[in-house]
Structure 1
Amino acid sequence: MSSQNAAAPYYFVPGPSRWPLMAGLSMLVTMIGASAWVNDVSWGPAANIIGILGTITVLYFWFGDAIKESEGGLYSQRIDHSYRWSMSWFIFSEVMFFGAFFGALFYARSISMPWLGDLDHKFIWPDFVPAWGGATPAGTVQEFHTMGPFPIPTINTALLLTSGVTLTIAHHALRAGHRAQTAIFLFLTILLGAIFMGFQAYEYHHAYTELNLKLTSGIYGSTFFMLTGFHGFHVTMGAIMLSVVLYRVLKGHFTPDHHFAFEGAAWYWHFVDVVWLGLYVVVYWL
C-alpha cells in the first residue's frame, strides 16, 4: 500500500471479484497435475504447468487490482492494519511450514537414528551404522557423500546477510524520501538473491554429479533437498516480490510514510534470511 486517504471509507470493501474462484481452480489444477506427474501419468506435467501459469496470471491481475485501489486513494489506516496482520499471519504459517521440516530432521537424526542402531535392531539391520549421512543398511541406498559448509554454503550465507543490509538501507532511504538510493539498494538486494540461487543451482549439480547425493539418498538426501530446496523456492519468491516493489518504486508509487508493499516484502526477505541461518547451522554444520 502506498497511499492513504483520510476521506476514504471507514473500511474499504471491494466489489465481487472472480479472482478468488479462479485462484482456487488454478491451484487445484496445479496439485492434480503434480499428483499425476509423480505417479507417471502422461498428462500430469502439462496439467501442472497449466495450473502454475494460471495461478501466476490470477496473482498478476489480482495484485494489479489491489495496487489500483491503493493508488486510487481507497485505502484507509484500517486497511493498512489489515495488511500488516495478514502478512504477519502468513509469515507465521511459513514458520510452521519450515518448523515441520526442521522437526523431521531432528527426529530422524536424533531419535530414529540412535534407535535403529541399538542392540535390538541389530538383528533386523545387522549392517546398519547409526551415523548421520552415508552410512545405511547394505544395498538399500547408493553410497553418497554428505554436503559440508564450505565453500558454497558459507558464501551463500554471506550473500543473504549482505542482502539483508542492502534491503535495510533501501528502506531507510525510502523513509527519507531518497527514491534513487532506494532503487539502487533494492536492485542490489535482488541481485544478491539471484547470485545466491545461482550458487545453489551449482551446489545441486555438484551434489548429484560428484557426491552422488540425491533426493533418493535416504533420509539425509530427502531432508537436505526438501529443506534447502524449499528455502531456495522462497528466495525466488522473495526476489520476485522485491522486483515488483522495485518497479513500483521506479513508478513513484510509494511515499515515505505509506509503503506497506515494500515493508511486507522486506519482512518476508528477512524471514528467509533467518531460516537460512538455521539451515546453515543445522544442515551443513551439525
Structure 2
Amino acid sequence: MKFTMNNTTNLSFVQTAKQLQRHPFHLVDPSPWPITAAIGAFSCALGGVMYMHAYNNGGYLLLSGFSLLLFTMFSWWRDVTRESTFAGHHTGAVQKGLRYGVILFIISEILFFFAFFWAFFHSSLSPSIDIGSMWPPKGIVVFSPWEIPFLNTIILLLSGCSVTWAHHSIVAGYKKQATLSLGVTIILASIFTGFQGFEYSVANFKLSDGVYGSTFYMATGFHGFHVFIGTIFLAICLIRLLKSHLTQQHHFGFEAAAWYWHFVDVVWLFLFISIYWWGGI
C-alpha cells in the first residue's frame, strides 16, 4: 500500500521534528543565496577582467554581477535577521559560532592590510635608485599630517567613543541614548568619508605615480572603502534598533558592527602614523 502525505501533514512533521531537536545549533533551511552569490562573484571577476582588457560588454557583465551580489547580500542578511529576531534560532551556541566567524573575518582583514603596510615599508625603508634613492620620491608633494589627516584621526577616535556609548546603552536598555549615539557615529563616519574624498581631489599625485602613489591610494583607499562598508553596517543596526530588533540579551549584529568599527579605527591609527606622519618626513 502506497503511503502519501499532503502538504499540511508534511509541514506538521517538520515542525514536530524541530521541536524534538536535542541540540542548540541551527540547521538552516535550503537557500538559493549561496549559488546566487557564487554566480555574482564569478560575474564580477570575469566582467572586471573583460572591462580592463576592453572586451565588449565587459562593463555590463561587471555591473550585472555586482548588482546580483548586492541583491544576494541584502536577501541573505534579511533571512539571517528573520532567523535571529523572529524565529529565535540564534541560541547561545549559535551566537558563539558567529562570534568566532567575525573574529576570523577581522583577522583576515588584518592580514589584508598587512600586505599594504609591507609594500609601503619595503619601498620606504630602502628606496631604490629608480625613485632617486629618497623617500618620498622626488616630485611627490605629500600631505601635511596635521591638517585633514589629523582631523580625520580625531573624527574616527570620536566615532569609536560614540559606538562604545551605543553598545553600553543597548546593554543597559537605554534605547534613546543608543539611538542618539549610533546616529552620531554614522554622522562622524560620513564626515570622515567626505574629508577623505576632498583630500583625494586636491592631491598632486595619482595612483599611477610610482610606488608612493600606488601604496598610498591602495592603503588609504581600501581603508576608506572599509569605512563606507562599516557606515552601512552601523546604519542597518540603527534601523534594527528603531524596529526593536536589538535587545539587552540579543544584539550580536550590533556587536559585530562595533568590532568591525574598532578594527577600522585601529587601522587608521597605523595609517596615520606610518604613511602620513613617518612616510612624509
- With the length of structure 2 as denominator, give the TM-score of the two structures: 0.88
Separation in structure 2 between the aligned mates of residue 200 and residue 9 of structure 1, nearest angstrom:
49
Give the AA of the match of 1:129. Answer: G
Name whichever of 39-48 and 261-270 sits farther off. 39-48
Aligned residue for 2:277? 285
Flag the structure with more relative contact order, 1 or 2, with Cα contacts below 8 A and sequence separation at least 6: 1
Which residue identity lines up with residue 64 of structure 2 in the other structure? I
> Which residue is equivalent to 1:47?
61
Q: Is the 8 A contact 2:24 2:94 kept in 1?
A: no
2:164 to 140, 165, 168: 168
- Structure 2 partner of 1:63: 77
Compute the displacement of 1:9 (Å): 4.8
Read off the aligned partner of 2:261 and give its amino acid letter: W
Q: Which residue of 1 aligns with 2:3?
A: none
The whole-number CA distance in structure 1 between the counterparts of 2:225 and 2:22 is: 38
Per-residue CA shift, 1:10-38, capped at 9, x if unaligned? 21110221101110110111111222222
- Tell me the residue number matched to 2:14: none
> Residue 237 of structure 1 aligns with which residue?
229
In 2: Cα distance, 1:278 partner to 1:58 partner:
33
**Equivalence map 1:136-285=2 (5 Å):** 143-207=139-203, 211=204, 213-285=205-277
1:103 and 2:95 equivalent? no
Counterpart position of 1:32: 46
Aligned partner (choices 22, 36, 45) of residue 22 of structure 1: 36
Which residue among 89, 112, 134 is the counterpart of 1:74?
A: 89
Deviation at 1:108, TM superposition (A): 1.4
User: Superposition RMSD on alpha carbons, in Å?
Assistant: 1.6
**Which one-letter code corresponds to 1:53 in the other structure?**
S
Kindly provide the amino acid, as one letter, of the partner of residue 64 in structure 1.
R
The letter of the residue matching 2:36 is M
Unaligned runs of 5+ in 1: 1-6, 118-124, 136-142
Query: 2:98 is matched with which residue?
Result: 83
Correspondence 1:13 to 2:27: yes
Report the AA paired with residue 136 of structure 2: G
Contact 1:174 1:255 in 2 (8 A): yes
Residue identity (%): 39
Look up the equivalent residue of 1:216 and give its one-letter code. Answer: S
Q: What is the one-letter code of the residue matched to 2:264?
A: V
5+ long unaligned stretches in structure 2 = 1-20
Contact 2:43 2:65 in 1 (8 A): yes
CA distance in structure 2 between the partners assigned to 1:52 and 1:281 by the alignment: 34
- TM-score, with structure 1 as normaliser: 0.87
Aligned-partner residue type, residue 120 of structure 2: L
Q: Distance in 2 between matches of 1:75 and 1:166?
A: 27
1:218-253 residue CA offsets vs partner (Å, 9 max, x unmatched): 000000000000000000000000000000000001
The answer as to whether partners of 1:9 and 1:74 remain within 8 angstroms in 2 is no
